[in-house]
Chains A and B, each alone.
Chain A
């Protein structure tokens, strides 16, 4: 079975600092990987996705993630945090090996706080 582990349920950074949110996945075949953001009382918005093309994926709002097969990781980064980045971030993996149209398996989420 596939799974996702997000290290750190809560990350706090200062405005302008680097954001690093960690995600490790479990799979014997490179799956589709996703990062979603959830603002308070809102639904899930896709930030970026890895679909076995480029290993460095750029998303919206200045976020990017790098797929590292050797480390089974897909960490999310942003060079400079903004107050509006405060939200909960979920890493997800597709359940179908090879990634075609499978349901998503989510990590527990990481709540990002940004201090002024």
Chain B
């Protein structure tokens, strides 16, 4: 299995609070991705990174920001959490972007009350 960890694995928070999710990889892959998965919507890309300090938006980026200050860590921040952001968040990595297999982390289950 690819070396990807996500923290926390579960989190319950209240509306309006900031939340940061962390993705850590030990594979030295260039590309890192944040997805959310919801019933009826499948996996949707939030943001992705193609290198340190290089990030771009996905299809559902509103309300989220990301940072990547080193190869192994990709942070997802919800500046002010809303109930609509209750979801399962998956991080993924790949060596060569979409031409390559994406390996997923175990996921973070976030509940916003």
Is the A/B pair a real complex? no
